Amino acid sequence: MGIVEEAHNLRVVGEGKRGVIVLAHGFGTDQSVWKHLVPHLVADYRVVLFDTMGAGPTNPDYFDFARYATLEGYALDLLAILQELGVQSCIYVGHSVSAVIGAIASISRPDLFSKLVLLSASPRYLNDVDYYGGFEQDELDELFEAMRSNYKAWCSGFAPLCVGGDMESVAVQEFSRTLFNIRPDIALSVAQTIFQSDVRSLLPLVSVPCHIVQSTKDLAVPVVVSEYLHKHLGGDSIVEVMPSEGHLPQLSSPDIVIPVLLRHIQHDIAV
């Protein structure tokens, strides 16, 4: 097993007659977050699953704090995974920060991506002049301090807020589990990188067609952000706002979200 394969717990499933699909999870989860989607894909596609560096199942010894201080480090990882597997073109489905990571990777290698499906994506979480990202700096500072002071307690409070449910729900319990599996210092570093990121200036450089999929209510990403992406991305894009709640709708509302994702995977943007 190669170092890329081992580091990211790389898995490839499915027959692949209709091409390659890469599924990339967001912060606090791992590749298991796609468990409701994968069974619908394996008959027709070669499906690539992996854990982003720092996720609970990855070896923390591989986490380079300097490399992953920016999202470009993750984009380089993605390109290395595609190279390792010999992927020449793929449909890329990225959730949350991994949606942005895929967009960054596509700027240098647009040939590797036939389309990007961006679920719960944001180019910037902080509010700015003429931009509503959803957070003020003092709110983020409080979030980071809570993570720093008592990570387990923070997980218990953040999971239901993020998913949009109570602690008894299966989706909240699942997110709590994967969140708590991350080493606390790594979780804090990753959260700081994500929430302080600003890739708005890169959006016009993204030429690959983008399917933007968003929940009506999302603690981390206001609906207006999906329209911002649509307006500023360099290539063709389309937006669909789903009647779902939470930042992890593929876990909390699979009955709503999975058919939507499948439609965007299987159909191109009508020109």
Tens digits of residue pLDDT in 23-33: 999 999 999 99
* Residue 17 placed within a domain: yes
Bridge partner list, 36: none
- Bridge partners (DSSP) of residue 262 are none
Q: Which domain holds residue 135?
A: 3-266
Judge whether 267 counts as a catalytic residue. Answer: no
Give me the CATH number covering residue 61.
3.40.50.1820
**122 in active site:** no
Q: Is 237 within a domain? A: yes
Catalytic residue among 77, 218, 237, 244: 218
Q: Specify if 271 maps to a domain.
A: no
Q: Tell me the per-residue pLDDT of 92-139, one tens digit each, with 9 for 90 and over.
A: 999 999 999 999 999 999 999 999 999 999 999 999 999 999 999 999
Is-contact 48 66, C-beta < 8 A? no
Number of H helices, E strands in the chain: 10, 7
In a domain, 259, yes or no: yes
- Tell me how many domains the chain contains: 1
pLDDT tens-digit map of 233-264: 999 999 999 999 899 999 999 999 999 999 99
- Active-site option among 96, 120, 122, 252: 96
46: in domain = yes
Q: Does residue 205 form part of some domain?
A: yes
The reply to whether 96 belongs to the active site is yes
For residue 145, give Cα distances in angstroms to 50, 94, 134, 153, 181.
30, 28, 19, 12, 19
137 in any annotated domain: yes
Contacts of 134 (CB under 8 A, 6+ apart): 122, 125, 127, 219, 220, 221, 222, 225
Q: Is residue 177 part of a domain?
A: yes
Q: Determine which one of 247, 252, 253, 264 is catalytic.
A: 247
Max CA distance (Å), the chain: 51
Measure the CA–CA gap between 270 and 125, rounded to whole angstroms: 30
The total of other beta-carbon atoms located within 10 Å of residue 214's CB is: 25
